Amino acid sequence: AEPEVVPAVESTADAIAAMEIRGAATIADAAAAALATQAEGSPAETPAAFRRGLRAAARTLYETRPTAVSLPNALRYVLRGVDGDTVAELRASTIDRAASFRRDLEHARETLGGIGANRLRDGDVVLTHCHSTDALACVEAALEDGKSLEAIVKETRPRKQGHITATQLREWGVPVTLIVDGAARRYLDAADHVLVGADSIAADGSVINKIGTSGLAVVARERGVPVMVAAQTIKLHPDTLTGHTVAIETRDEREVLSDEERASIRSSDAPDGSVGEPGSEDGLTVENPAFDVTPPRYVDAIVTERGQFPPESIVTLMRELFGDTTDEPWAE
């Protein structure tokens, strides 16, 4: 019989795929919570069936989004701690392990925030891209230290996660200037830092983050504005130690161009007036990569809960924390 994945795990996976749950750390947290839910709700009567169900749940979660390595890192962490000879013991150890992962995640964010805050001086202006809980933790800690900050927030097309950042910053009383992505270079002269998060960090110190981060980092270098990446160590991508590259997610083209917009372009353009469907051979292609790679030479500091690192030295930390084991304990 098929191993049983509890419905709540399927719902979490759907919410991650639909980006109702999004952002690398939040996805990792939700995935760990979902494994605990699987353990609680598993109908398994034997240890083998319990483990099969848990692996199937982990696979379901793993397959949602490919770029943020915090997701497989979370699954690995929980599955490695599953221990016991009976279903009851396995269940309890899974629940404990998920809870400790989630506590560590929160603790790491707070510690990282305190370290990142040391880079921010009273009166500084930060320029942000997308929405990152790790980046915002640095702002929050600086505010708690009594510094006042201002923010220039890039809208972040196509999904406008800049609005989430603006909402959080306004809740904290930080003055926010919201700009369209194309205005970033014009506003860099008014910024003291570019502050972003990461979905994955590669062994060479490359930063994989929301599409547009690399272009922002290049113009920041041109304008002499330092680029600060806030990323707890769960964002370190162990597979890159053995030469693997990080998969860049491509999302639905309708995020960029609705069916209606496509139809209007098509009808004003095509001699036969026919309406093209997304993906059809009508000469109009939309591409929607969700992330890009910023080379280490454009990054000034990677701020983690273990301290602040130049990107070139992140590999040492990666080896220490992950070794070179890149097993997939969720495999069938």
CA distances from 20 to 106, 281, 303 (A): 20, 32, 27
Among 13, 24, 56, 58, binds ligand RUB (CB under 6 A): 24
**What whole-number distance in Å separates Cα of residue 20 and Cα of residue 14?**
9
User: What one-character-per-residue DSSP string does 134-190 give?
Assistant: HHHHHHHHHHHTT---EEEEE--TTTTTHHHHHHHHHHTT--EEEE-GGGHHHHHTT
* Residue 102 is a binding residue for ligand RUB (CB under 6 A): no
* Catalytic (active site) residue 130: yes
The residue of the chain with the least Cβ separation from ligand RUB equals: 197
Strand 207-210 to strand 200-201: parallel, antiparallel, or no bridges (unpaired)? antiparallel
The window from 117-125, 130-138, 173-181, 321-329 that contacts ligand RUB (CB under 6 A) reads 130-138
Among 56, 71, 141, 290, binds ligand RUB (CB under 6 A): 290
Q: Which one is catalytic: 130, 138, 239, 300?
A: 130
CA dihedral sign, ordered 102, 108, 111, 115: negative
Q: Which of residues 218-277 bind ligand RUB (CB under 6 A)?
A: none
Among 199, 253, 300, 305, binds ligand RUB (CB under 6 A): 199
Among 5, 25, 33, 302, binds ligand RUB (CB under 6 A): 25
The window from 17-25, 37-45, 171-179, 293-301 that contacts ligand RUB (CB under 6 A) reads 17-25
Q: Which one is catalytic: 134, 199, 239, 300?
A: 199
* Residue 95 is a binding residue for ligand RUB (CB under 6 A): no
User: What one-character-per-residue DSSP string does 258-324 give?
Assistant: -HHHHHHHHHHH-TT-PPPPTTSSSS-----B-EEEE-GGG--EEEETTEEE-GGGHHHHHHHHHTT
* Residue 68 is a binding residue for ligand RUB (CB under 6 A): yes
* Residue 197 is a binding residue for ligand RUB (CB under 6 A): yes
CB burial of residue 160 (10 Å; 0-12, 13-18, 19+): middle
The window from 31-39, 129-137, 176-184, 315-323 that contacts ligand RUB (CB under 6 A) reads 129-137
Among 60, 128, 168, 209, binds ligand RUB (CB under 6 A): 209
The window from 88-96, 174-182, 197-205, 301-309 that contacts ligand RUB (CB under 6 A) reads 197-205
Going by C-alpha positions, the residue among 220, 231, 214 that lies closest to residue 125 is 220
**What whole-number distance in Å separates Cα of residue 218 and Cα of residue 148?**
27
* Residue 212 is a binding residue for ligand RUB (CB under 6 A): no
Torsion angle of C-alpha atoms 134, 67, 309, 149, degrees rounded to 10: -30
Cβ–Cβ < 8 Å for 212, 284:
no
# residues near ligand RUB by CB under 6 A: 18
Q: 95 or 120, CB closer to ligand RUB?
A: 120
Phi and psi (nearest 5°) for 189?
Answer: -65, -20
Q: 18 or 180, CB closer to ligand RUB?
A: 18
Kindly report the number of other CB atoms within 10 A of residue 19's CB atom: 16
Task: Build a one-symbol-per-residue string for 132-161: x at contacts with ligand RUB by CB under 6 A, - elsewhere.
Answer: xxxx-------------------------x
**Binding stretches for ligand RUB (CB under 6 A):** 22-26, 68, 130, 132-135, 161, 197-199, 209-210, 290
Q: Which residues have a catalytic role annotated?
A: 130, 199
